[in-house]
Amino acid sequence: MGVNDHRLDGSQTQVLLRLLDIALAARVGGRAGVPLAAAAHGVRLTLTPTPGRFTTVRTPGAGCI
C-alpha cells in the first residue's frame, strides 16, 4: 500500500487538522507563496504552495479533506 492509498483514522485526522490550523494561523499576511509549517504530537507538517498541484488526504467518514 502506497501513501496515496492510505486512509487516515480518526486520531490521525485530528492531528492533521490541528497541524493545518497551527500552520494557517501562523501565515504572514500578503505572502501567499511562502511555505507554512507546524509541529505537534511529534509530527511536522510543511505546506509548500505549488501552482497547479494539490494533495488529497483520505479520511474516515467524510472521505477526503
pLDDT in tens, 37-46: 888 888 888 8
pLDDT at 63: 55
Structural element, H or E, at residue 63: strand 63-64
Asked if the model's pLDDT at residue 59 lies above 70, the reply is: yes
pLDDT at 25: 84
First to last CA, the chain: 20
The mean pLDDT of the chain is 80
Is pTM beyond 0.85? Reply is no
Mean pLDDT of 48-65: 78
Report the alpha-carbon distance of residue 51 to residue 56 in Å, rounded: 15
Residues composing the chain: 65
pLDDT at 54: 84
Question: In the chain, which ranges are continuous DSSP H helix?
Answer: 10-25
